[in-house]
Structure formats: C-alpha cells, structure tokens
Chains A and B, each alone.
Chain A
C-alpha cells in the first residue's frame, strides 16, 4: 500500500501533500493537548512495536500467512490523534530509511494510512466500544485497512495508471481479505492484551465534548474511502468520464488485452464481473500458495 514516487501524477501528489500537512498538524495540536510528556517515548516505542509486529506471522490458510498492519490497534490503545502521529512517523521512517514508499508521495501515504485509515478505524470503536466491544474492534480494524487500500487504488486510477478491470477487482478482493485478517488479528491481540493487563487498553471517553471534531473527521474519512471504493469498482469507465470532463483524458487509453475478459455465459453484468474477479483472485491465490510452498521446500531442504 506504500505508493512510491512517480506513480501518482503531479496534481494528485501535490494535492494530497497539501491535505496531509494541515491534517497532521491538527492531530499534533490535539495530541499535544491530550498527552502528558510521559507519552513521547511511549508513542515512539509503540511505533517500533508496530514495525516489529510485522515479524510475527499469523496463519490464515493453506500455506499463507498475514501480519498486523497496526493503525487500528494504535487508535484503540493510544487514541486517534496519537495514533495518527505514530503512523506518520512510521511512514516517514519507511520512506527515508527503508525506501518503502516515496518522499513526494509521503503526503498521499500519510493521508491514506495515518489520517484516513486511523480515523475510519476509530469511528466504529468510538461509537460501539462501550456496548459491543468485539464487533466494534473488528469493524474498526477492517475499515482502517479497507479505507487506506481503496484510497491508494483510487489515487492511482485518478493519476491515470492504466489498470484493467479484472486487476482492479482482484486488488479490491485482496484488500478485503487483508482487512478481514487485520480485523481477526486486532481482535485477538486486544483480547490477549486485556487478559495481560486491562489498564493498557484505553476506553474511549464519550463525555469529552471536543471529540466531536474527531468524529466528524472520521465520518469524512469513511466517506472518502467509500468514494474511493465505488470509484475503483466502477473504473475505468468512471475514471475516463471524469478525465474527459477535466480534460485530462488525452493520455489515458485503455486498450487492454483484457478488455473483453468477461465473455462468459452469464447475462447479468454484475455476475460476470464478480466471476471474473473471483477467478482472478483464485489464480492469484493459487500462484501465491504455490510460490510459498516452493520457498518453504527450499528453506527446509
């Protein structure tokens, strides 16, 4: 989900940098008001924890495994504004030290994962954590990954990166799968933490009134994710139409060899699309399993 430099078109990355900078600034201000100075090392070490957590694998099926992404877990344990700051620091370190994601695309990556992802994950937790903690945690973690993934995909499409529709559907399905995994991991880790020391999990405080800003922002993040999702699932037609309207479409040509992929027996367009997507997903899944098996065999040999 880390977009490297030169994948997004200049208006897209510039606009997202312009959005992400004040958003992170706002979060820093909020966090500065909420936190005591004990929290500075805490935020840093929690960032290191999220990095390290990627080494712990979770089995999710035949031969494959997933790992924690962490934005939602941070939001549930530290609060939304501190979680945004930690995620921003993580993404910046990844871009500079590990060459994972671009520097000009930092705004886009921060916006997708640290701002929109964290807020979208925090909203259901904030609303339901008191009454129904389990579904709240699951839905929150699911949404945080789904929203960041859809936004990244939408941004690539708006930038005019040509992707045939089956590929878009496959990547949406992959995002959905990793979002489900994130939900499952987050919920079991939260439970394990609670068993270990209930004091480590922050309960949201609904009585604090100035949280309204956060809730409104979370709603916006969620809506944006939804727009990205719908956009991606209606692309390329939708993108081309918008591109034509904006006069950007001169470059984007979608003469994909996949163009008539859906020459199936189904009448309903929806069914056809779903079948194509599922088939693609199965092919990718099979390839991944085969690949993982191969590596596993070589390692144990």
Chain B
C-alpha cells in the first residue's frame, strides 16, 4: 500500500533525511512559492528548479522512477484543465498548469518521503500550528489504516451477502448500516484509546524518540537552498 512505501522511504539516513523537519518545511515553502510565481514559459528557471528536485532525490537515495511515477497522480486533473485552457486559447496557462503542478507534487513527495510523518507534524507544531490540530492529525494518521481495514471487511461482508449488483434501496440501506457500524466502532475505539492513554500517563503531548534540534547544518541548508532558488527566480 501507498503509506507503507512512503514510511519506508522516510526511514533512510541520507543528509536530506537527517535535516531538521523545520528546515525542510521552510525550504519546501520557499520552493513552492518561487515555483508559483515563475512564469510558465521561463524554461531555464523551471529546468533549474527541476534539477534541484532531481538532485534532492539522488542525494536522498529515493528510487527516482517510482517517485516520479507517484507524482503523476496529479496529472489527470491538471491535464484536463490544461486541455481546457489550451482549447480556450490560453496556451501559456495550459503549459503552466501541467508542468508547475507536477513539479510541486514532486517537491512535496521529496520532503514527505524523507521525513517520517510524526517528525513532520512536530516540525509543523514547532512552526506554530496549534497543538490540538497536530494531535488530531497524528491520531488520524495512526488509525487511518486500522479503520480503513475495518471498512474493507464491512464492504467484503456486504458484497458476500448481497452480491455486487445491488438494487437501489437495498444497497443504500446496507451502506448506511455499514457506515453506522463503522462510526460506532470508531467511537468505542477512541474511548478505549483514551483509557489506554490515561493508564500510560499521557501528558497532552506525544513524546518523540529524538528531540528536534535545529543545528548549523539545518540553518545553512534552508538559507542556501532558498537563496539559490530566489536568485534563479529573479534572474
């Protein structure tokens, strides 16, 4: 499954993996903003941005093919809108939509693929995202695949009993029942989780195995990347 792959990628130990999550988030934001303000036909600048991403992928030791393939998830959407813009005579925008949305997706994948999600979220918290939101996102990610698996069991059970070619009303009622069961189970699961957390003296914050440390190298990384990107953009 998707997440398993990403989790495996993010466990590496390359120079990019070991940067502080805050440094990577800031560099990502600079990259995305620079890209968003670059003209769609400024090909040298776009090529340099793309080279920065390729260099990042190689340094991080991520499999380039499968990362670039995964980033194509955005293409159906952007190709459709690109085609519409092209037909409407706005060729510049059409090109921009496709190439820039693809590069943005690759950039996000590069950062998420080199940062375990708990670290990424604590980086976001350190940058000022409210703790409640970060905690909710952490729980969400933790239980996402558990609840999804339950949903798949429910779907399978439903298919076994009514077949796949269902009648309208029957199918609707069955779906609603399945969702209600899933809802109630999630509710009770949350209660159990809370009891378990209390039993283990939850202090209102997830403990990280290693503390976030924004060192020299991290500062240098952010400043150099940002400066380089901005210079390329202005030239």
Query: Could you tell me which A residues sit within 8 Å of B by CB distance?
Result: 4-7, 10, 13, 24-25, 28, 31-32, 37-38, 40-49, 51-53, 55-61, 68, 77, 85-86, 88-90, 92-93, 95-100, 102-104, 160-164, 167, 184-185, 188-189, 191-193, 195-197, 200, 251-257
Contacts A48-B143, A97-B112; A59 near B166 (Cβ below 8 A): yes
Q: Total number of A-B contacts with CB less than 8 angstroms?
A: 249
List B contacts of A97 (CB < 8 A). 2-3, 6, 112, 117, 141
List A contacts of B55 (CB < 8 A). none
- The minimal Cβ–Cβ distance linking A93 to chain B, given in whole angstroms, is 6
Q: In the docked arrangement, what's the CA distance between A52 and B28, Å? A: 29
Q: In the docked arrangement, what's the CA distance between A141 and B193, Å? A: 29
| B133: contacting residue among A58, A88, A102, A162, CB under 8 A | A88
- The minimal Cβ–Cβ distance linking A180 to chain B, given in whole angstroms, is 13
A-B contact list, 26 entries, CB within 8 Å: A4-B74, A4-B104, A5-B100, A5-B101, A6-B97, A6-B101, A41-B139, A46-B186, A47-B136, A47-B137, A51-B147, A55-B155, A58-B172, A58-B175, A59-B172, A89-B137, A89-B140, A99-B73, A103-B108, A104-B104, A162-B88, A185-B179, A192-B176, A196-B180, A200-B183, A257-B87
Cβ of B45 within 8 Å of any chain A Cβ, yes or no, is no
Cβ of B233 within 8 Å of any chain A Cβ, yes or no, is no
| A189: contacting residue among B101, B179, B189, CB under 8 A | B179
Query: Could you tell me if B2 and A98 are in contact, using CB atoms closer than 8 angstroms?
Result: yes
Contacts A57-B175, A68-B179, A162-B93; A102 near B101 (Cβ below 8 A): yes
Query: Could you tell me if B36 and A255 are in contact, using CB atoms closer than 8 angstroms?
Result: no
Q: In the docked arrangement, what's the CA distance between A140 and B80, Å? A: 31
- The minimal Cβ–Cβ distance linking B76 to chain A, given in whole angstroms, is 11
List A contacts of B191 (CB < 8 A). 38, 42
Contacts A38-B194, A48-B146, A96-B112; A6 near B168 (Cβ below 8 A): no
Chain B interfacial residues counted at CB < 8 A: 83
Q: In the docked arrangement, what's the CA distance between A48 and B138, Å? A: 10
Cβ of B8 within 8 Å of any chain A Cβ, yes or no, is no
Beyond A52-B151, A189-B180, 13 extra complex contacts between A and B, CB < 8 Å: A6-B35, A6-B97, A38-B190, A42-B187, A45-B147, A49-B186, A53-B182, A55-B148, A56-B179, A58-B175, A61-B168, A102-B101, A103-B108
Query: Could you tell me if B136 and A192 are in contact, using CB atoms closer than 8 angstroms?
Result: no
- The minimal Cβ–Cβ distance linking A33 to chain B, given in whole angstroms, is 11
List B contacts of A95 (CB < 8 A). 108
Cβ of B130 within 8 Å of any chain A Cβ, yes or no, is yes
**Which 4 A-B pairs rank lowest in CB-CB distance, beginning with the nearest?**
A44-B139, A192-B180, A188-B176, A162-B88
Contacts A5-B104, A6-B97, A95-B108; A161 near B136 (Cβ below 8 A): no
Q: In the docked arrangement, what's the CA distance between A257 and B88, Å? A: 7
Query: Could you tell me if A44 and B90 are in contact, using CB atoms closer than 8 angstroms?
Result: no
Q: Which residues between 126 and 161 of chain B lie within 8 Å of chain A, taking CB atoms? A: 130, 132-133, 135-144, 146-148, 150-152, 154-155, 158
Contacts A5-B104, A37-B204; A99 near B88 (Cβ below 8 A): no
Cβ of B210 within 8 Å of any chain A Cβ, yes or no, is no
Query: Could you tell me if B184 and A252 are in contact, using CB atoms closer than 8 angstroms?
Result: no
Nearest neighbor of B124 in chain A, beta-carbon distance? A92
Q: In the docked arrangement, what's the CA distance between A58 and B178, Å? A: 11
- The minimal Cβ–Cβ distance linking B115 to chain A, given in whole angstroms, is 9
Q: In the docked arrangement, what's the CA distance between A57 and B2, Å? A: 21
- The minimal Cβ–Cβ distance linking A98 to chain B, given in whole angstroms, is 7
- The minimal Cβ–Cβ distance linking A56 to chain B, given in whole angstroms, is 5
Contacts A58-B172, A104-B36, A200-B187; A99 near B71 (Cβ below 8 A): yes
Q: In the docked arrangement, what's the CA distance between A188 and B175, Å? A: 9
Q: In the docked arrangement, what's the CA distance between A90 and B133, Å? A: 10
Query: Could you tell me if A256 and B88 are in contact, using CB atoms closer than 8 angstroms?
Result: yes
Nearest neighbor of A188 in chain B, beta-carbon distance? B176
Q: In the docked arrangement, what's the CA distance between A188 and B103, Å? A: 42
Cβ of B84 within 8 Å of any chain A Cβ, yes or no, is yes
Cβ of B81 within 8 Å of any chain A Cβ, yes or no, is yes
Q: Which residues between 61 and 120 of chain B lie within 8 Å of chain A, taking CB atoms? A: 70-71, 73-74, 77-78, 81, 84-85, 87-90, 92-93, 96-97, 100-101, 104-105, 108-109, 112, 117, 120
- The minimal Cβ–Cβ distance linking A153 to chain B, given in whole angstroms, is 12
Nearest neighbor of B112 in chain A, beta-carbon distance? A96
Q: In the docked arrangement, what's the CA distance between A252 and B85, Å? A: 10
List B contacts of A100 (CB < 8 A). 73
Contacts A5-B32, A45-B186, A51-B144; A195 near B180 (Cβ below 8 A): yes
Query: Could you tell me if B143 and A44 are in contact, using CB atoms closer than 8 angstroms?
Result: yes
Contacts A37-B204, A193-B184; A47 near B139 (Cβ below 8 A): yes
